[in-house]
Chain A
Amino acid sequence: MKIAFLGLGIMGRPMALNLLKGGHDVTVWARRAESMLPLQEAGADTATSPAEAVRGAELVISMVADAPDVLDVLRQAAPGASAGLVAVDMSTIAPAAARNIHDELAALGIDFMDAPVSGGEVGAIAGTLSIMAGGSEAAFARAQPAFECMGKNIVHVGGSGAGQVTKAANQIVTGMGVLAVAEAFAFAAKNGVDRSKVREALLGGFAYSKILENHGQRMLDRNFKPGFKSWMHEKDLNIVMQTAHELGLCLPGSAATAQMFNAMVGSGLGEEDSIAVLKLLERLSGQA
């Protein structure tokens, strides 16, 4: 399939590479031309604008930072779109923003699907991302062969915005999950108990989780390299809190967690992995 790929950051680059590996005809565009080089070497065509990238494509995929960027690149792409183009945005943005973009592009004859991912850089490289899609059946059917090159657990959750709702729910669970593991470790340490033993014991019971296993190990190793940067987790939790505000939804745990991530960004931990919330806890409890 002829696919245009817009945005080649930490996530976008390996995702586009996996599309090439899957035998698709990929044209890439990125704001900084040098980001396109590795893709060009791997056999992708390059474009000088989003409009040029989508010319003749059946599918365009965007992977950028935030809602204004999504809107910006897709507006730029629209003049080059062929009839029946399906646009899939795999960035994490607010559900309401996704629905607005869907409506704006529908008026231009472009079928827009939100399909954010979970699994991080590791999952993007391995082609094992979880993909949560929101939009029409037709858009999902078109995008599915591309999704299968990039991810493993691919779920068409519902209509427009449903993918982003799912991703926000994912960020609630992972945000509180990381904080829960960090609190358990801070609790053990302040009580003079070996955290690695605590982790080992907990892994066998109901407290088992991937976060306890993977993020927990990285906390023990004090390996705070991202992974998933805490400023991005803060951004995603802000989407959760903003949506909760609009809907009249009481989320006390998410609200407390969002403030911890807010404090991380404000105190210089924003570029570290979200497990650096452990450092903040230690600071607050005089353990640092």
Chain B
Amino acid sequence: MKVGFIGLGVMGRPMALHLQRAGHELHVWARRPASLEGLAATVCATPAELGRQCEVVFTVITSSADVEAVALGPDGLSAGMAAGSVLVDCSTIAPDVARRIAARLGEQGIHMLDAPVSGGAQGAIDATLAIMAGGEAAVLERVRPLLACLGQRIVHIGPNGAGQVAKACNQMIMVAAIQATAEAMRLAAAAGVDCARVKQALAGGSAASRVLDVMGERMVKRDFAAGIEARLHHKDFGLVREAARQSGVPMPLTAAVDQQLNSLMAQGWGRDDTASLLRVLELA
């Protein structure tokens, strides 16, 4: 199948390569040509041109505004994609923006799924991403073989936007868990206790989690080089706050963690790993 891919960053590149390895004909477009280096794919001049040539198009882009521009802007995907083709947006964006894009594309008979992913760069490389899809079930079934190249757990959450809601929930739990891990590590260190031992003990009990494993390990080693850059979690927390506001649902813990992320950004650690929340605690 002719598959388009836009957004060849830390997450997008390995995902695109998996699709290619599965035998699909890869078409790409990038705002910065440098990100196409080393890819043996058909390079398109605009998203519209890419859309014209592909049956299914994937996007993995950072911001709501950029996804909207690539999908609906001048020379955007909507100017090229045929009726019946599918846009699979794996970016993490605001649920209402996802719904708006889906509605606009729907007017032209173009299908859209919001299909944000969780699992980080390693999950993208290992093709073990968790994929949370919003949109029509029949459309998901059509592209499921493609998504199966990227991850094993593919869940249809509900209509358009529902995938993004699930991703917001994912981010809330995960970053709060990182903060909890950082606080535990900070307390252990302040009490003169070996953090590595604490982590080792906890890993066998009720507090065991993937976050404790991965992020706790980074904190113990004081390795703050990104996995996923903290600025992206910071961005996601802006989306979560807005979603909480639209629903009138109180989120006291999320709001507190959000402030720690603001502090992290102020220190200039946005391009480091979110394990840097430990360093924020050390400022006080």
Q: Which residues of A contact B (CB under 8 A)?
A: 234, 238, 241-242, 244-245, 247-252, 255-256, 258-260, 262-263, 265-267, 270
Q: Which of B241, B247, B263, B266 has the most CB of A within 10 A?
A: B241
A256 to B252, CA, bound (A): 6
User: Contacting A266 at CB < 8 Å: which of B248, B255, B262, B264?
Assistant: B248
A267 to B249, CA, bound (A): 8
A241-B241, A245-B238, A263-B249 known; A252-B256 Cβ under 8 A: yes
A234 to B248, CA, bound (A): 10
Complex contact A245–B258 (CB within 8 A): yes
The reply on B210 being an interface residue by CB < 8 A is no
By a CB distance below 8 angstroms, the chain A residues around B42 are none
Q: What secondary structure prevails in chain B residues at the interface with A?
A: helix
A245 to B255, CA, bound (A): 11
Looking across the interface, which residue of chain A has its beta carbon closest to that of B267?
Answer: A248
By a CB distance below 8 angstroms, the chain A residues around B259 are 244, 250-252, 255
- The minimal Cβ–Cβ distance linking A261 to chain B, given in whole angstroms, is 9
Complex contact A250–B248 (CB within 8 A): no
Sorted from nearest, which 5 A-B pairs have the closest CB atoms?
Answer: A266-B248, A263-B250, A248-B266, A248-B265, A250-B263
Interface size on B, residues (CB 8 A): 22
Complex contact A249–B262 (CB within 8 A): yes
Query: In the complex, which residues 135-164 of chain B have their Cβ closer than 8 Å to any Cβ of chain A?
Result: none
The reply on B260 being an interface residue by CB < 8 A is yes
The reply on B2 being an interface residue by CB < 8 A is no
Q: Which of A245, A249, A252, A260 has the most CB of B within 10 A?
A: A245
A-B contact list, 24 entries, CB within 8 Å: A234-B245, A241-B258, A245-B238, A245-B241, A247-B262, A249-B266, A250-B260, A250-B263, A251-B259, A251-B262, A252-B256, A255-B255, A255-B256, A255-B258, A256-B252, A256-B256, A259-B244, A259-B255, A262-B250, A262-B251, A265-B248, A266-B247, A266-B248, A266-B250
By a CB distance below 8 angstroms, the chain A residues around B260 are 250
By a CB distance below 8 angstroms, the chain A residues around B237 are 245
By a CB distance below 8 angstroms, the chain A residues around B251 are 259, 262
A-B contact count (CB 8 A): 62
User: Contacting A263 at CB < 8 Å: which of B241, B248, B262, B265?
Assistant: B248
By a CB distance below 8 angstroms, the chain B residues around A247 are 262, 266
Q: Which residues of B contact A (CB under 8 A)?
A: 234, 237-238, 241, 244-245, 247-252, 255-256, 258-260, 262-266
Complex contact A262–B266 (CB within 8 A): no
- The minimal Cβ–Cβ distance linking B140 to chain A, given in whole angstroms, is 31
Looking across the interface, which residue of chain A has its beta carbon closest to that of B264?
Answer: A248
Other than the given A248-B266, A251-B259, A258-B255, 15 more pairs (CB < 8 A) read A238-B245, A242-B238, A247-B262, A248-B263, A248-B264, A248-B265, A250-B259, A250-B266, A251-B262, A255-B256, A256-B252, A256-B256, A262-B245, A262-B251, A265-B248
Complex contact B256–A262 (CB within 8 A): no
Q: Which of B255, B256, B260, B265 has the most CB of A within 10 A?
A: B255
A244-B262, A250-B260, A250-B266 known; A267-B252 Cβ under 8 A: no
Complex contact A262–B262 (CB within 8 A): no
A259 to B241, CA, bound (A): 9
Complex contact A267–B248 (CB within 8 A): yes
Looking across the interface, which residue of chain B has its beta carbon closest to that of A249?
Answer: B262
Looking across the interface, which residue of chain A has its beta carbon closest to that of B231?
Answer: A248
- The minimal Cβ–Cβ distance linking B77 to chain A, given in whole angstroms, is 28
A259 to B264, CA, bound (A): 21
Looking across the interface, which residue of chain A has its beta carbon closest to that of B283?
Answer: A250
By a CB distance below 8 angstroms, the chain B residues around A262 are 244-245, 248-251
- The minimal Cβ–Cβ distance linking A160 to chain B, given in whole angstroms, is 24
A242 to B234, CA, bound (A): 12
A146 to B100, CA, bound (A): 43
By a CB distance below 8 angstroms, the chain A residues around B252 are 256, 259
